[in-house]
Structure 1
């Protein structure tokens, strides 16, 4: 259950402080539900707009403003998820959730950007997890995230989803099965970082044998340019096919700098031109091999990574 945050100690209105202190929680919830920081920010803005549209007596009558804000944000997200599939039918190429950097590397391109808009990184935001969430129905996703990630009781989840608590329990259980089915054996952070580093070095060296050894035979590469940056329109599957594509792209690495970075809480890579991030690579491992690579090139999804203009080359 969401509890009201502690009031600020800066001498401001404690009620206002308590309301605004919920912002980080709402951003974290909305990003996990939508996979888009931009959409999450819009949801939080709309949630606060609805709060301040309430007459003061109605605001005063709400015993737990944090719970009210979460309920409203959850319902807005549910509506967005219900329409997202139709919107993505017109999306150019593959759609991948928006990648996030480490908080210490977060670059906010907007003047006066609020640190409260930054998402807390944990296992519920790694790219593989978010991609599985995309395969769920909107109701499954909302029920699972609210209950399993944010510890909301099913009675409160039911008010947001518009189902009975028993139905929400079944939705969350179905979502859990999807997560378990997609999970690969866990590797330690140091091992994951080492494999990604080896991949980077092999790619830069055009070492075909090393690349094939690092990739799962059934590995998949998916790119997201959104029509705003050049990218593969369809997934590439199979280690040999992927290596051919990587070697073809390797020539362009002369103009780019590949850097090891944390992407959604796990080891990844970024490609930069003149200090501007133009591609973010997220990885999923199966044992000691790379199972999935996601390449995010859509400049609209790279805002936290760079304040500079997007580049048109991969």
Structure 2
């Protein structure tokens, strides 16, 4: 099993320095961004597409630090109703498959996307719990008219190049839990589209990630190591909490998500928070998580995604790495 990190949290550092940080924490796997919501400073895409020597040199940087490039990450919204976002993110996913194949990397991590509620809609609409048949109409449109046709194209490209697409089951996407992942796999007759098992997004939905692993079986292609802490506020407001704030694109620290959109401000006294591995669930839980993944694939890559806002850049990575390595008995 490879244990490493997604390097997006180290985008302020050149790739060799970022890899040295990960190696210094005892990790041996790296996942780098290849498009979508955020830039890709650790992946010289044009050079890789153009030159075999550039590909060799690039992979040599990882080898020189005792690291393996185990996945590309292209999280975005390829189904967005705004064409400026949709066309870029969709093209980035298809390009990422080609780049991965050229590099000999067999995994691309991404999100399934979210369309509007109808063909005339202008903003994404996450449609859950369709107890009113109007929402079944939304579901039918989003899946049959938008999601399934796009993901058939992805499946074809991935199968042609023998690259596995690992979808992060992320709320605010059409695929957000095992049932929706299986719906997509069945609808497109997938051979190369499956799941990335990121427990953090499952925890706050009330899903037990280890049971999800057992349920999905061989469809789990890749894994993330990110924890979630459920806070006391959840006892009052539950986990579906809309108290997020607007961040203007010109504000200091604003994170753009494509087009005019930005990452919203997290609620004060939130119902739940993303935290470093071990700060939401104990070491025994993480041992069980790694064992479940290893049963599926002894070569599974598990990469830390550091989004703990209470810990600094290196502090959070180091904390997560220590727990993950201890859970693996290293």
TM-score, normalisation: structure 1: 0.29
TM-score, normalisation: structure 2: 0.28
More helix by share: 1
Greater gyration radius: 1
